[in-house]
Structure 1
Amino acid sequence: MIKTFIVGYDGTEPSKRALDFAARAAKGRGAAVLLVHVLEWSPYSFLTMEEIAERHKEREKEVERAKSVVNPVCEKLRASGLNVSSDVQYGDPAEIMCEIAGKHPESIIVVGRKGTSNLAARFMGTLGISLIQASPVPVTVVP
């Protein structure tokens, strides 16, 4: 039984389609929705103290921007009667979503498909492919 729909959400059209799909499915099952927004951050080495401080400030700004995308959506879904929570993290999107799914064994990951150049990625998106290969729970890729 699915208790949690883990949705990769960044405000893009594909992520909105994934969220719509997950919200309808969750409502029909009495399940929760967990919106996950992952900010990719590449680590740099050999930074000065000033550069480290600047990166920290940038990181805080990015988290606030991400929350400004996710929080209004959560409020709207709560108003419709859904049990909704969110998680904003830094890292690799597939790794973070798989880690979260590992903590919610009765869950399913839902992501939107984004168009890319190679054939496999064109059908499912690169995140979708990574999740299908590594996820401990089922994955749905919404076209």
Structure 2
Amino acid sequence: MTNEGASKTIVVGYDGSEESNRAVQWAAKHAILRDCSLRVVHCSLWVLLSHNRGPVPGVADSGLERAAQKVLEEGVVLAKETVPELEVHTTLLHGMPRDHLAHVSAGAAMLVLGSRGLGGFMGLLVGSVSLELAATAECPVAVIRADDNPDGFVLLAVDDSGSPAALEDACHFAEATGADLKIVHVLHEPAGYRRLRDPVEDYPEAEALLDSVMSHARHKAPGIKVAGELLVDASFSRAVVKASQGARLTVVGTKGHGVIKGTIGSTAHAVLHHAHSPVLVSRRKAQPA
């Protein structure tokens, strides 16, 4: 894909699982709303297990390579069933998804992934591939666990910087869907410092930040209803997760400066695991220092 073409394309990873089924359906619906084409990508792992991927002699429509192509075709059928008029392209790759998906989605409008989870073990529901790509991809990354509130609001969580990339993405979604935009900024206070959820009346800097972000949002997405709320909690991520109840999408930023490759900030990490909606991590291509 050229950079120009990529910017009007939503890329979705598909492996035939129920999680990736949800991801394809979600990606198809949002691609048509944002006037984007959809690229369904399947990464076949057979190359890691066998060099003989050709058809079985005398058996029609057989072989490991054909099996991979069938998975990809299933993803296309699902996308077209969801949005018949959608322009859909395909890419079949061989190897680890975390390596290929980061490359093929570079410059795309968005990369959409299912949550291949751990069955509730320790409450962690997002798979390692989704987590790593949310930390390393060069475009916004949406992780779809469920889509229980398709008519809900878009939730944007901003940090002290105002999270400009996340603001831009949240406004795009609100405009495309016609959804209300709710912006929250979390003020951290240690547990026991004061009763949580006390009225926030004495934080002029935080109020000014939130007012500024809301003003920018109204400018970027005129006609969209914008509301804001300051939250006080001992945990940033807990406050955002609570606020995500009823949301159709939760948008968070990430500084992407983890010391360990493939790590994101603790707030984005926790929200990915526990939010009550699909989560969009607003990634951008790293700029030279």
TM range (shorter): 0.7 to 0.9
Cα displacement string for residues 8-31 of structure 1 (whole angstroms, at most 9, x for unaligned residues): 112426x11001011011101101
Distance 1:12 1:2, change over 3 A: farther
Equivalent in the alignment of 2:252: 111
What is the root-mean-square deviation of aligned Cα atoms in Å?
Answer: 2.4
Normalized per residue, the structure richer in helix is 1
Conservation of the 8 A alpha-carbon contact between 1:10 and 1:69: no
Distance (Å, rounded) in 2 between the aligned partners of 1:3 and 1:127: 22
Equivalent in the alignment of 2:276: 136
User: Which secondary structure does the structure 2 equivalent of 1:77 belong to?
Assistant: helix
Kindly indicate whether structure 1 or structure 2 has the higher relative contact order, using CA contacts under 8 Å at least 6 residues apart.
1
- Calculate the TM-score normalised by the size of structure 1: 0.76
Q: Structure 2 unaligned segments of length 5 or more: list them.
A: 1-149, 195-199, 284-289
Conservation of the 8 A alpha-carbon contact between 2:167 and 2:217: no
Q: Structure 1 unaligned segments of length 5 or more: list them.
A: 46-51, 53-58
Question: Number of matched residues?
Answer: 126
Equivalent in the alignment of 2:223: 81
Equivalent in the alignment of 2:174: 26
Once the two structures are TM-superposed, the CA of residue 81 in structure 1 deviates from its matched residue by 2.0
1:1-143 equivalences in 2 (<5 Å): 1-12=150-161, 15-43=163-191, 60-61=201-202, 63-79=203-219, 80-91=222-233, 92-102=235-245, 104=246, 106-114=247-255, 115-121=257-263, 124-143=264-283
Cα displacement string for residues 53-112 of structure 1 (whole angstroms, at most 9, x for unaligned residues): xxxxxx854x2211101112213433522210011011112111111112x1x4211011
Structure of greater Rg: 2
Distance (Å, rounded) in 1 between the aligned partners of 2:226 and 2:151: 15
